[in-house]
Chain A
Amino acid sequence: MNRRSRCLLALPVALLAGFCLWQAVRPAWAQSLVADLSSHLIAITTGFTGTDVVLFGAVDGDGDVAVVVQGPEGQVTVRRKDRVAAIWMNVEDVTFAGVPAYYNVAVTAPLEGVVPPTVLQRHEIGLDYVRLLPEKAKLAPEKLAEFRAALIRNKQRAGLYTTEVGEVSFLGQRLFRTRIFFPANVATGTYTASVFLIRDGDVVSAQTTPLLVSKIGFSANVFEFAQRNSVFYAILGIMLAVTSGWLAGIVFRKS
């Protein structure tokens, strides 16, 4: 129900945005790209099972559109197992900094071969170009590539990085839209949705929109309570357990 109403809302908003843009940019050519999200807040409630956000926008002419959504950055340690005396155990690790917890990319048309890698690198368009900074400076390139690929593979398995490039579809000549899925295990924090207009192998216009993922309501209260008043939280947890155990003992005593 939520999703449908959001889509219903998104389309007129998109049309309106497109129209306003058209009016605004025609004389000045000030802004060749405008985009927005159907929602700037993803609320993780008790019933949260993942959600779609629609990104829509308009361009002033020809060109390809690429959309990159990435999540809060942090450190991630990648560990490699090896056989040590018949047992597989972690033997080597590389820690990466600035790793986005979530990464999703969608394009109107494949960019490989059309756009030079340096451009894709600069704007982090595509999983091959995500900026992951190893903490140890001295690392053989093959090893680094291996650990980098492993990080991306593990993130993909968790559903947090795209496995394939998504599709941005044009509605007519000017309007475009794409759908971005956020799974249930998405991390809380500030995300950015970046939209790039690409013409003749270069980015000619870009826009970045923030998106907030936040726990709301009961689950937020529980989380906050556990972090802030951990002593009371611990005591409450134990009391809950003792009470239910004691109640069970009383209730089932007769039978």
Chain B
Amino acid sequence: MQIYLPIAELSVNALLILMLGGGVGFLSGLFGVGGGFLMTPLLIFIGVPPAVAVGTQANQLVGASVSGVLAHWRRNNVDVKLGGVMLVGGALGTGLGVWLFGYLQKLGHIDLVISLSYVLFLGTVSTLMLTESLRAIVKGRGAPVRSKLHHHTWLHGLPFKMRFPRSRLYISALLPALIGFVGGVLVAIMGIGGGFLLVPAMIYILGMPTALVAGTSLFQIIFTTGLAAFLQAVGNQTVDIVLALLLLVGGVIGAQFGTRAGAKLRGEQARALLALMVLAVAVKLAVDLVVRPEDIYSITLPVMP
């Protein structure tokens, strides 16, 4: 069933989009990530203009995060205060990201920057995650052992210290704000929620209790993706509601099956699989950057003023 996407201005198979949404939703339910890092490249691959892919994906992630955060909210696993501080940075980062996106688009380097950020961030995080989870598997199926729970480093000497009772932390407000800021930039430029980056950062840099991390990062992602979707729709008119709706329906259903399948998977196995998948995306994009393209010339329509 072909359906015409009014903003992306192309005709796609609705079933294909539903299946893509379902497949990525399944994986995101399985591993507890947003799945934007898979969906955005896939959308670009089937011919959706990068700007529309990023804008629409941001809109779709709002729904995915709301659905995800509800479960955590019920178990009281959301640190609203810390999420709020992250959000301040996140909003600034998103604003900067959307502006940067438009600027790079004008220069003709947006595709390169998207690819490079994917390779850099996905490559680094997935390699770290893979080695960590493989070590955990080899070490004999125990929970990952952390040598020391609370390191005292220069990070703790930063000003603006704040108390976060829910997470039992007393840290500089600059840290979560900075993490949120980086996440916000990524949301706008890469069309991803940034959970795969926020989660490890919150565990290892902030030292948050693991139980609170997923809910709090999702809580924060709702607002950064929402803001990104808003700014992209108002500033660049690059949110395709029809596409977003198809992705949402597929994603929501897929995620529920994924969550169920995920319950049968051990933590470190799931992390290793996720890391492999993310690494595969990063390697594919890295190869594309290095291998001579089929046609070294490309055309772009002028960016709308």
Report A's interface with B, CB cutoff 8 A: 44-50, 74-83, 86-90, 93, 95, 146-147, 150-151, 153-155, 157, 184-185, 187, 215, 218-220, 222-223, 226-227, 230-231, 233-238, 240-246, 248-250, 252-253, 255
Contact = CB atoms under 8 A, between A and B. Distances in A.
Interface residues of B, number: 55
Interface in B264-305: 289-293, 295-302
Given A74-B302, A147-B297, A223 B7 contact: yes
B7 A222 contact: yes
A136 B40 CA distance: 35
Given A50-B11, A223-B6, A249-B67, A236 B241 contact: yes
Contacts of B112: 87, 89-90
A48 B292 CA distance: 35
Contacts of A235: 230
Given A90-B112, A230-B233, A81 B10 contact: no
Contacts, number: 182
B92 interface: no
B28 interface: no
B62 A238 contact: yes
A237 B65 contact: no
Given A74-B301, A154-B295, A222-B242, A244 B63 contact: yes
A79 B226 contact: no
Given A47-B3, A77-B300, 4 more contacts: A151-B299, A184-B11, A219-B4, A249-B70
Interface stretch (B76-84, B94-102, B153-161, B245-253): B245-253
A160 B109 CA distance: 24
Contacts of A79: 108, 297-300
Contact of A244 (B6, B239, B252, B295): B252
A79 B108 CA distance: 8
B246 to A, nearest CB: 11
Contact of A245 (B10, B64, B109, B291): B64
Contact of B239 (A220, A237, A255): A237
Contact of B244 (A90, A237, A248): A237
B216 interface: no
A77 B64 CA distance: 36
23 contacts: A47-B2, A48-B2, A49-B2, A74-B302, A76-B299, A77-B300, A79-B108, A79-B297, A81-B296, A89-B109, A153-B295, A154-B297, A219-B5, A220-B6, A233-B239, A237-B59, A241-B59, A241-B61, A245-B62, A245-B67, A246-B66, A248-B256, A249-B67
Contacts of A241: 59-63, 66, 226, 229, 244, 248
Contacts of B6: 215, 218-220, 222-223, 226
Contacts of B33: none
B297 A150 contact: yes
Contacts of B212: none
The winner among B68, B229, B241, B302 for most chain A CB atoms within 10 A is B241
A133 to B, nearest CB: 14
B237 interface: yes
B255 interface: yes
A154 B298 contact: yes
A88 B249 contact: no
Nearest to A231: B234
Contacts of B256: 248, 252, 255
Contact of B108 (A93, A231, A255): A93
B203 interface: no
Given A75-B302, A78-B299, A226 B245 contact: no
B298 A81 contact: yes
A-B pairs, top 6 by smallest CB distance, nearest first, are A245-B66, A150-B297, A241-B63, A234-B233, A249-B70, A184-B11
Contacts of A233: 233, 239, 241
B263 interface: no
B299 A246 contact: no
Contact of A248 (B7, B109, B255, B293): B255
A45 to B, nearest CB: 7
